[in-house]
Amino acid sequence: MTPVRRPALAFPAVDRPAHDTADGFGDALGVAAEGPPRRQGWAALAVGGWLVSQVVGAVAFLVLNPLFVVAGTASGVAAAAALDDEVFALAAGTPLVALALLQAPVWATQLATVAAATAGRGRSLRRDLGLVVRPSDIGVGIACGVAAQLLIAVVYLLAGVDEDGPARQLTSKGAGTAGLIGMLLLLAVVAPIVEELLFRGLLQGGLAARMDARLALALTSVAFAAVHFQPVQFPGLVIAGLVFGGLALRAGRLGPAIVAHMAFNAFTVTLLALS
């Protein structure tokens, strides 16, 4: 009797590698505790890399601060916002180019962390972290990213909470066509790629090598929300993290998660810019 083959997008079992073993990267996101030893340190590397990136961002701020108005790293501004909402009035005065220059070393450090995880093993980001985007990922990713935004908006609307304050301050820098394009490039292209590599690829992949893949998904989603340092937006970011991580785990690659993250951010930037 011919065995029935699992559908291509079936949720991978947590006690064995994900389905996409033909390309060699499916197990990176869905492997359980008995996974390859070299992935055991990925979670610690992801956390360490993120911490170092914040130090690098702080140094960049100290160096570039004399050139711009009062500003801070993304994490610094958001952390201060937890104590004083007026900090966004200061951040709003920072030119878009200043924010880009301040964030660039942070992203570069995080990308270097991701590269270090696969360096010297003769493999690649494609095989180790599932950095692959297929045509089928585009439609699924866009639909899930927009749906996640709408779901979060409904949740906050019912709760009577305005969760768009930080995003509104940030998008205020993107006045005009050039500014809007710049904001979209930063928030809807660069940020999603870097964050998905670090969080879903490295952190979630590393945790899934030590524990149940669903628990790894949950922990990564909480961490993803926490490092944004935005208490009001924390529940919404957890939901977004679950959507992005779930897509990566289901597909065994980062493609759907990256596209969903791009759509998620682009939807917000465009909507706020138009309003």
Structure tokens at 234: 């924390």
Answer yes or no: is 6 within a domain: no
Structure tokens at 230: 């935005």
Query: How far apart are alpha carbons 120 and 255 in whole angstroms?
Result: 24
Answer yes or no: is 34 within a domain: no
Ranges of residues in the chain with a pLDDT under 70 are: 1-38, 65-98, 120-123, 163-176, 275
Measured CA angle at 148 (ends 147, 154), to 5 deg:
90
Answer yes or no: is 204 within a domain: yes
Place of tokens 């990267």: 25
Yes or no: say if 158 and 253 are a contact pair by the CB < 8 Å rule: no
Answer yes or no: is 176 within a domain: yes
Query: How far apart are alpha carbons 81 and 89 in whole angstroms?
Result: 10
Q: Give the tens place of pLDDT for each residue, 161-204.
A: 776 655 555 555 555 677 778 778 888 999 999 999 999 999 99
CA nearest 260: which of 114, 149, 129? 149
Answer yes or no: is 258 within a domain: yes
Report pTM: 0.77
pLDDT at 66: 64
Domain count, the chain: 1
Answer yes or no: is 23 within a domain: no
Answer yes or no: is 4 within a domain: no
Structure tokens at 76: 């610094």
Look up residue 16 and give its DSSP letter: S
Residue numbers of the domain that contains 194: 39-121+132-274
Answer yes or no: is 157 within a domain: yes
